[in-house]
Amino acid sequence: MAALPPEAHVVALARLPRVGPGRLRALLERYGPTEAWRAVVAGTVDPALVVHPGNDDPAAVVRSWQRAAAAIDPAAYWQAHVEAGIGVAVRGSDAFPAPFAADDDPPAVVFWQGDLDHLAGLRAAVVGTRRATRYGLDVAHRLGCDLARAGVAVVSGLALGIDGAAHAGALAAEAAPPVAVVGSGLDRVYPRAHGPLWREVARAGVVLSEYPLGAPAAAWQFPARNRLIAALADVVVVVESQATGGAMGTAMEAARRGVPVLAVPGPVTAASSDGTNQLLFDGCPPARDAADVLVVLGLEAATEGRTAAERRPTPRGDAATVLNEAPWGPVPVEQLVLATGLDLGRVALALDQLEADGWVSRRAGWVERIARPGVRP
Amino acid sequence: MLATVSSATLLGVDGFPVTVEVHVGQGLPGFTVVGLPDASCREARDRVRAALLTSGFAWPDKRTTVNLAPTSVRKIGSSLDLAIAVGVLVASGQLPADAVAERGFIGELGLDGTLRHVPGALSLVDAVETAEVVVAPGSVFEANLVGRPRVRCAPDLAALVDALTGEAPWPRPPDDPVPPAEPPAPDLADVRGHPLARAALEVAAAGGHHLLMVGPPGSGKTMLAQRLPGLLPDLDDASALEATRVHSAAGLALPGGLVRRPPFRAPHHGTSAVAMVGGGSGRLRPGEISLASGGVLFLDELGEFAPLVLDSLRQPLEEGVIRIARAETRVTLPARFLLVAAMNPCPCGEGVTPAACRCSDRSLDRYRRRVSGPLLDRFDLRLEVLRPDPEQLLRGEAADPSAVVAERVAAARRRAAERGARTNAELPTPVLERVAPLGPEASALVERALRQGRLTARGLRRVWRVALTLADLDGCEGPLRAEHVASAFHLRSDPGFVVGPQAA
């Protein structure tokens, strides 16, 4: 017990149920790590330290901590982190990331996989909805790729949709390292579908979390995760978001911290762009491509031209007619049939050609135009 | 004294000949029915006794034993009432034995001696091997459909005995029921917008392809499905007789006589597995899939059906029959139906439009699991049906009426029949590859889809068959053209809830 570093007790405390950064900080400030753990085990924690009680009864929370603590062996739990190669830094220690140390709502402890030095350069958060359209995914992928090429670390949340596309783009660039902040323990890959992406990001960059190993992904942890993304970022780009959602939360957190927020414009008719269009209306600068983001960061635009040269074969015949009628944004094939007046066979054939040439993408009977030739996700 | 009378009992939808043997002899007065009668069959004793007494006959005050041969088969229902009553009359000497020889008797008795119609009369009469059959007036019409035995009827027991003994002529059979004027079937011309869904209905009707419609509430899925039977051709003689037997065995009214129009069955999503595929204790009743045989089985809200019920459809979908086995009996019922299903794209119903769905990942996952992959795979046509935009709804041009489409469907079906299959969906793969090879452009299209992993080998056969149906509808001969294959691809796109949120 005596040989245990003080971090071990912080890690154990972080594993308790209903412990968020606020309560953990309160515990550590009052008692210090070792004493705090003793108080939890003994059930003698001052209920006043259960901050933001909400619907919780502070006394009941203290009792639930005591029960949960009985099942945790701090020494073994610490050993598990050491063996898994998980980095641990407590607030106030030298290793604690500087962006968090300066924050007004910092985590009490940070866990990471990968190399924390990757936080050294400029960082741009690219965030958005999980239910993205093809347009949003393409833009996120391209932003991630171009920002990484320009030497800016892409910060995101490894979620489905925009987050994943941004990380995939950053990885594809093989330039600046990607940074992920997740809302669960580092051994609890969520969403499962992003397991390979998660490991790639940990290998090439760093995955951060304020939750110890084994902590499941609870719903309240994702807004908390979003504040860390905002705290880390030098600029936040919201690619696609509904009127409410996690990405809008990230934008709010960023705005509160004085971090510039950019939004990618979307069709005014698309629910998937309601949030970003609102941000634009509220005065956020638009992010049309990585160059717009680099300007906000005070960097010069990327050396490549603003748009790559058009290399796709020009559509002819039915394909031209169909592409002409395809609006920006997803459209059902049926609407194209009606708009062009062609029969289904010719439209389907034209779409097949357009898809093969990279003009449109298709999914479940819907068609979406692809704006610019880029790195295909 | 012993009497032997011919009758029949029902097993599934098929009749089974039964010989009713009645023995009246010395002993304590009593009445026993042996030979595996079920409950309603055992009750015959009380009905027969009351019917004989109220009709003015004597009830033998001796030991009466009724045996239903063969004794190994369970006898079900009240169709043996009449035969037992006639047997008792003969065995007690109130009716000469030669009056009942070479005659079968099928019907239920009322306590006042009335002869009543029984479900499955068609199959029962068909099963009786005698040259003449006596049935209740209500069953005459069904009995005549069999065409083989001479059909006699009598309103009640007294009149029957008079006719059997020759004291009175046989009562005149009732006139054939006049089919009631059918309400006009829903017409395809009423549908505004939905050009692709209309095309899919036409293809489904022409090729016998199962159809899945995915769409938000109020997009018109049910309305479309109801118009499918109107596109199908009349049933041929064999199918019509088969459908009529099933309907008769299920006790459904047959107002128009032979079931000539393809049936349309739309069971509710609370339907149990037994109600769906047939079965039940005792007599094995035909289920919804058998009632829909030859026609359309429409499952609205496919995602709300119990997974067990849906999975029980898989085997009949492949084989066209349903085999129901119980410890005592096993029956094979026809189940050659066209499956049309409709479902919401997700629990909230808005999942068709990209990024508009409000469902949680977990509820989406559960929804996806309910409709299993193997079932989904059996739909040759999978289509998203969207709410038509107001422009189409108000000013869209009226589509071809059902009659015009039905003619195209009939023509396409004739072409399929020339290939030796009832429909293209049933065309064996080797025949398919021989009669409709892919044209060069179509091959390139298919190859690209296979390489991109958008198509599996099984999926290819299904797309191929649909493309053939499209070509049939267009009147094209020879190798399949690329546009037909491309259309078939689109008509079999993976529904959005299967693809899931697209990952980059």
Residue boundaries of the structural domains of chain A: 6-83, 114-296, 318-369
When the candidates are 3.40.50.620, 3.30.2020.30, 3.40.50.450, 3.40.640.10, the CATH number that belongs to A114-296 is 3.40.50.450
B63 pLDDT band, cuts 50/70/90, is very high
CA distances from B105 to A84, B190, B354 (A): 85, 50, 65
Task: Count CB atoms within 10 A of the CB of residue B190.
Answer: 12
Q: Which residue of A has its CA nearest to B384?
A: A365
Assess whether the region A114-296 and the region A318-369 belong to the same CATH fold.
Answer: no
Mark yes or no for CB contact B501/A338 under 8 Å: no
CA distances from B368 to A20, B13, B307, B417, B499 (A): 34, 36, 11, 37, 10
Rg over alpha carbons for chain B, rounded to the nearest Å, is 28
Rg over alpha carbons for chain A, rounded to the nearest Å, is 24
Nearest to B77 by CA among B50, B107, B53, B56: B107
Question: How does pLDDT run across A222-233, given as a tens digit for each residue?
Answer: 999 999 999 999
Q: Does the CB of B389 have a partner CB in chain A at under 8 Å? A: yes
Question: How does pLDDT run across B357-407, given as a tens digit for each residue?
Answer: 777 777 777 777 777 778 888 888 988 888 877 777 777 677 788 888 899
Residue, of A194 and B193, whose pLDDT is higher? A194
Task: Choose the closest CB to B486 out of A348, A366, A368.
Answer: A348
Q: Does the CB of B198 have a partner CB in chain A at under 8 Å? A: no
Strand partners, B153: B135
B356 pLDDT band, cuts 50/70/90, is low
CATH number of B2-165: 3.30.230.10
Residue, of A127 and B436, whose pLDDT is higher? A127
Query: How confident is the model at residue B149, as a pLDDT?
Result: 87
The nearest CA of chain A is from the CA of B489 a distance in Å of 8
Residue B139 gets which letter from DSSP? G
Query: How confident is the model at residue B426, as a pLDDT?
Result: 84
Q: Which token pair is B295?
A: 């026609």
Nearest to A165 by CA among A178, A149, A150, A151: A178
Q: What CA dihedral angle connects B481, B485, B486 and B489, to 10 degrees?
A: 180
In degrees rounded to 5, what are phi and psi of residue A155?
-105, 130
Task: Choose the closest CB to B487 out of A191, A193, A345.
Answer: A345
Query: How confident is the model at residue A372, as a pLDDT?
Result: 60
Taking contacts as CB-CB distances below 8 angstroms, the residues of chain B near A242 are 355
Query: How confident is the model at residue A376, as a pLDDT?
Result: 36
Nearest to B255 by CA among B183, B334, B152: B183
User: What is the distance between the alpha carbons of residues B201 and B488, in angstroms, rounded to a whole number?
Assistant: 13
Of A362-366, B110-114, B393-397, minimum mean pLDDT range = B393-397
User: What is the distance between the alpha carbons of residues B19 and B6, in angstroms, rounded to a whole number?
Assistant: 5
Residue type, A287: A
Check residue B93 and give left, alpha or beta (phi > 0: left; psi -120 to 50: alpha).
left
Q: Which of residues 26-85 of B touch A (CB under 8 A)?
A: none
At A124, which helix (H) or strand (E)? strand A123-127
Percentage of residues in chain B having pLDDT higher than 70: 95
Question: How does pLDDT run across B6-60, given as a tens digit for each residue?
Answer: 999 988 888 889 999 999 999 888 899 988 888 877 888 899 999 999 999 999 9
Taking contacts as CB-CB distances below 8 angstroms, the residues of chain A near B487 are 344-345, 348
Query: How confident is the model at residue B503, as a pLDDT?
Result: 36
Query: How confident is the model at residue B354, as a pLDDT?
Result: 62
CA distances from A112 to A82, A184, A201, A226 (A): 12, 12, 12, 16
Mark yes or no for CB contact A134/B496 under 8 Å: no
Query: How confident is the model at residue A302, as a pLDDT?
Result: 47
The nearest CA of chain B is from the CA of A126 a distance in Å of 14
User: What is the distance between the alpha carbons of residues B308 and B306, in angstroms, rounded to a whole number?
Assistant: 5
Question: How does pLDDT run across A77-100, given as a tens digit for each residue?
Answer: 999 999 998 999 998 888 899 899
B421 pLDDT band, cuts 50/70/90, is confident
Mark yes or no for CB contact B355/A377 under 8 Å: no
At A274, which helix (H) or strand (E)? helix A274-281
Taking contacts as CB-CB distances below 8 angstroms, the residues of chain B near A131 are 354-355, 357, 501
Q: Does the CB of B495 have a partner CB in chain A at under 8 Å? A: yes
Query: How confident is the model at residue B502, as a pLDDT?
Result: 43
* Strand, helix or coil for residue B45: helix
Of A211-215, B33-37, B294-298, minimum mean pLDDT range = B33-37
Mark yes or no for CB contact A132/B487 under 8 Å: no
Q: Which residue of A has its CA nearest to B448?
A: A356
Count of A–B CB contacts within 8 Å? 106
Question: Burial level of A276, CB count in 10 A (0-12/13-18/19+)?
Answer: buried
Instruction: Yes or no: say if A272 and A136 are a contact pair by the CB < 8 Å rule.
Output: yes
User: What is the distance between the alpha carbons of residues A11 and A76, in angstroms, rounded to a whole number?
Assistant: 11
Taking contacts as CB-CB distances below 8 angstroms, the residues of chain A near B494 are 364
User: What is the distance between the alpha carbons of residues A20 and A14, in angstroms, rounded to a whole number?
Assistant: 8
Q: Which whole number is the average pLDDT over B304-316?
A: 88
Query: How confident is the model at residue A1, as a pLDDT?
Result: 47
Of A65-69, B169-173, B387-391, minimum mean pLDDT range = B387-391
| pTM score | 0.71
Q: Which whole number is the average pLDDT over B329-352?
A: 84
The nearest CA of chain A is from the CA of B373 a distance in Å of 16
Query: How confident is the model at residue A88, as a pLDDT?
Result: 92
Q: Which residue of B has its CA nearest to A272?
A: B355
When the candidates are 3.90.550.10, 1.10.10.10, 2.40.128.690, 3.30.1280.10, the CATH number that belongs to A318-369 is 1.10.10.10
CA distances from A346 to A204, B207, B362 (A): 46, 21, 39
Instruction: Yes or no: say if B244 and B254 are a contact pair by the CB < 8 Å rule.
Output: yes
Tracing tokens 């505004």 back to the chain, one arrives at B192
At A361, which helix (H) or strand (E)? strand A360-363
HEC profile for B284-316?
A: CEECHHHHCCCCEEEECCHHHCCHHHHHCCHHH
User: What is the distance between the alpha carbons of residues A244 and A274, in angstroms, rounded to a whole number?
Assistant: 9
Q: Which whole number is the average pLDDT over A32-36?
A: 89
Instruction: Examine the pLDDT at B355 and tell me if it is beyond 80.
Output: no
When the candidates are 3.90.1150.10, 3.40.50.150, 3.40.50.2300, 3.40.50.300, the CATH number that belongs to B188-417 is 3.40.50.300
A264 pLDDT band, cuts 50/70/90, is very high
Residue type, B452: Q
Summarize chain A as % helix, strand, coil (round to 5).
Answer: 45, 10, 40
Instruction: Yes or no: say if A167 and A279 are a contact pair by the CB < 8 Å rule.
Output: no
Residue A63 gets which letter from DSSP? H
Mark yes or no for CB contact A366/B383 under 8 Å: no
Long-range contacts of residues A62-67, Cβ cutoff 8 Å, at least 24 apart: A64/A17, A64/A18, A65/A16, A65/A17, A65/A18, A65/A19, A65/A40, A66/A40, A66/A41, A66/A42
Q: Which residue of B has its CA nearest to A159?
A: B503
Query: How confident is the model at residue A374, as a pLDDT?
Result: 47
Q: What is the mean pLDDT of chain A?
A: 87
Question: CA neighbours within 13 Å on the CB side: how many for B303?
Answer: 21
User: What is the distance between the alpha carbons of residues B490 and A343, in angstroms, rounded to a whole number?
Assistant: 12
At B343, which helix (H) or strand (E)? strand B338-343
Of A128-132, A162-166, B393-397, minimum mean pLDDT range = B393-397
Q: Which of residues 317-376 of B touch A (CB under 8 A)?
A: 352-357, 361
Instruction: Yes or no: say if A154 and A128 are a contact pair by the CB < 8 Å rule.
Output: no
User: What is the distance between the alpha carbons of residues B210 and B276, in angstroms, rounded to a whole number?
Assistant: 17
Mark yes or no for CB contact A363/B502 under 8 Å: yes
Residue B327: partners with Cβ closer than 8 Å, 6 or more residues away? none
Q: Which whole number is the average pLDDT over B458-487?
A: 86
CA distances from B104 to B82, B93, B99, B156, B173 (A): 10, 19, 11, 16, 17
Tracing tokens 């793969």 back to the chain, one arrives at B429
A170 pLDDT band, cuts 50/70/90, is very high
* Strand, helix or coil for residue B179: coil
CA distances from A69 to A51, A64, A247 (A): 19, 8, 34
A310 pLDDT band, cuts 50/70/90, is low
Query: How confident is the model at residue B59, as a pLDDT?
Result: 92
Mark yes or no for CB contact B448/A352 under 8 Å: yes
